[in-house]
Structure 1
Amino acid sequence: MKFTIIGAGNSGQSMAAHLTLLGYNISLYDIQESLIEGINEKGGIEVEGFIQGFAPVKATTNLENAMENTDVIMITTTGSAHRTVARAIAPYLQDGQVIMLCPGYWGALECRSIFRDMGMNKKVYVAETESFIYTCHSTAPGHVQIRKIKESLEFSALPSSDSAIVKDRLSEVYPQLKIAGSVLVTTLNNCNPILHVPIALLNAGRIESEGEFAFFLEGATPSVVNVVEELEQERLVMGRHLGIKLSPALDLLRRFYRVEATTLYKSIQKNPVYQCEKAPVTLNHRYIYEDIPYGLHPMVELGEKLGIHMRCCNLLIDMASLLVKEDLRERAVRLSDLGLADMNPDEIVAYLEE
């Protein structure tokens, strides 16, 4: 199989290095010329940590070349880039290709909507994961640290009837992928917005002060986790209204990292992967500009469509907008972008499945 990886940040470089070391044909694409030049100057990517070695990765800013004769397209960009990527790759898609968004951030729905609007009629399989496969960090172009590969990770295709085909294609390289009920399960099980946003906002003063601190270990105090759990409840109520089975964050951390704990606070504190996770040094960070417009805001729209009072979710979006002096709802993905605005809950579930 040939893999085309779209996005050469922390995630894309880590995936490209790992798959290359496993012997797969990889093409790594990004629009940032300096980033791609840095990788190519080194001749590939040095990886350390959970996986170690030097991977002679092919990196390019030419999307047409990257997409040539590919079997699987892995999109590892932030959620804010999904619509741009979908439009860019549409002319090069071929029948039978798999497109996997890692993680989804409503991306499978957004891609399908864009492909439909563009008249893209190739038979492709669009899927997304609930979280990224690797816990990783890039220290420089061509150098990554992989702290962990998640033990078990759910994904779904859109429609979900395609999930078995996607699993069969990827089972050799990612045997930990398990089929979820639908892309709403994977999207709503993405616990990044649930964890990142409250911790970042309630530590805003500390983030903007001198000195570093451990984002999860020190930032997720018991009172901060109280807010995380309130946000979590709104997410789980949405699942019950839709008749889909969502995993509490405590179960997700247990599944991803094999962390055994009786409370979410203890789970965060015991997670070895979180021990060395430093906090950002600014609020101009994906914890705000990805996790709110592409995480919490579409949750609010869907929750209100279901008649749920999304008090905590709305409060955090409003607080973040005040802190950064910007209306974060303006740049957010909406149900209309996902093709769901005119559907009732039963129609949404049927659309996701069929």
Structure 2
Amino acid sequence: MSLNFAVLGAGAGGQTMAGVLSSQGYSVKLYDIDQSKIQKLNALGKIVVTGKIECEGTPALMTTDLRAAMQDVDVVMVTTTTDAHRTLADQCAPYLHDGQIFMLNPGHVGGALEVAHVIRDIHQCKADVIIAEAGDLMYACRMPEVGTVFQSGLKNHVEVATLPASDVTRLLEILKPIFANLSPAKNILETGFEGGGAMLHPIPSLMNVNRTDSGEPYDYYMSGITPSVAKLVSACDAERLAVCRALGLEVPSLVKSLQKIYSLEQEDLYDLLQHNKAYVGLKSPSSLNHRFFIEDTLCGIVPLASIGQMMGVETPIMDACINIASVVCGRDFRAEGRTAERLGLAGKTLEEIYEMIS
């Protein structure tokens, strides 16, 4: 089956996806709002992928024109930061058509819910579009420079879910031959709410905000997360687990997840992080606009706290994190973020939520 792709977002993940797919002979249109980045890519005329995957690809179009990127495509792969999902869904809704796939890579907490609410409820789009989200970006990559991405590995197992969940079979019939590492999750609660990654970002970043203000670089995990900061992260994770239980999900703690991912044995979060060689040397945020402050608050902490409030679960650490981040960053993260209302969940019972996503 010959498929035409639009890749929305030309960061490391988007350039990797566009480069790999176009090197395999697929027609790919790469979109980004950053005009200078698109100009550089067009001047280069190709994307070079290095590392575990070695290839060169030339997308059919690299553009800042979203309408042009969306024209005559079968699969829309969204690889922007997750705080851009709502805006993209709003902008893409008029161009969607029957049989198309609109997939978030990844969705974070509530991504598919948010874009489905925008596309289907707000825009009243009647097109038979498969809305999907991956639990993680399928490429482990970084971008040394525009047009060159380093691929440290293709993740062997990436869960994907659709909204409604029954569409996942259709999705995999189309995408599994291309992305063999995709496997079906039960529903979007599994892909969106089970991961504890967001716990490791806003709180440590806020606890080190003076270093960010002064331009002081530090080893994010080894130096930025002290025993006291780790206690705050663990308390926040306990609230995440309580919200998940209220949603009928039995999910692993952050410690258990990290133990599994990195083959570690330490039971204390601080001790575990200090023994995780994969985290040594990772850069700290260089500004308050970093995704650790913005994306993980808007699309990680806010939805968990908002749904927790709706389900009667207290989240004082998350609430404090949202309030402090809003003051520090000069934004109202509660108003901007993925609240239960923005996810289309406001006022719904647990039974109604499961009926909605099944």
What letter corresponds to residue 45 of structure 1 in structure 2?
I
Counterpart pick for 2:163 among 151, 158, 166? 158
- Confirm or deny: 8 A CA contact 1:216 1:275 kept in the other structure: yes
Residue range with higher mean Cα deviation, 263-272 or 183-192 = 263-272
Counterpart pick for 1:197 among 202, 224, 233? 202
Aligned to 1:31: 33
1:7 maps to 2:9: yes
Q: In the comparison of the two structures, how many residue pairs are matched?
A: 352
Distance 1:195 1:96 in 2: 38
Unaligned ranges ≥5, structure 1 = none
- Kindly report which structure 2 residues correspond to 1:316-331, keeping only aligned pairs within 5 A, or say none: 316-331=321-336
1:107 maps to 2:111: yes
- Confirm or deny: 8 A CA contact 1:242 1:349 kept in the other structure: no
Unaligned ranges ≥5, structure 2 = none
Task: Label 1:242 to 1:29 Cα distance change in 2 as closer, same or farther (>3 A).
Answer: same
1:209 maps to 2:214: yes
The TM-score normalised by the length of structure 2 is 0.90
- Kindly report which structure 2 residues correspond to 1:227-266, keeping only aligned pairs within 5 A, or say none: 227-253=232-258, 257-263=261-267, 264-265=269-270
Distance 1:63 1:223 in 2: 45
- Confirm or deny: 8 A CA contact 2:20 2:56 kept in the other structure: no
Distance 2:15 2:259 in 1: 26
Distance 1:26 1:270 in 2: 41
Deviation of 1:258 after TM superposition, in Å, equals 4.8
Task: Label 1:19 to 1:226 Cα distance change in 2 as closer, same or farther (>3 A).
Answer: farther
Distance 1:198 1:151 in 2: 30
SS in 2 for 1:246: coil
What letter corresponds to residue 112 of structure 1 in structure 2?
A
Distance 2:274 2:84 in 1: 32
Aligned to 1:16: 18
The TM-score normalised by the length of structure 1 is 0.91
Task: Label 1:149 to 1:230 Cα distance change in 2 as closer, same or farther (>3 A).
Answer: farther
SS in 1 for 2:201: helix
1:278 maps to 2:307: no
- Confirm or deny: 8 A CA contact 1:259 1:271 kept in the other structure: no
Percent identical across equivalent pairs?
34
Task: Label 1:62 to 1:85 Cα distance change in 2 as closer, same or farther (>3 A).
Answer: same
SS in 2 for 1:87: helix
Aligned to 1:92: 95
- Confirm or deny: 8 A CA contact 1:157 1:163 kept in the other structure: yes
Task: Label 1:26 to 1:159 Cα distance change in 2 as closer, same or farther (>3 A).
Answer: same
What letter corresponds to residue 33 of structure 2 in structure 1?
I
- Confirm or deny: 8 A CA contact 2:12 2:142 kept in the other structure: yes
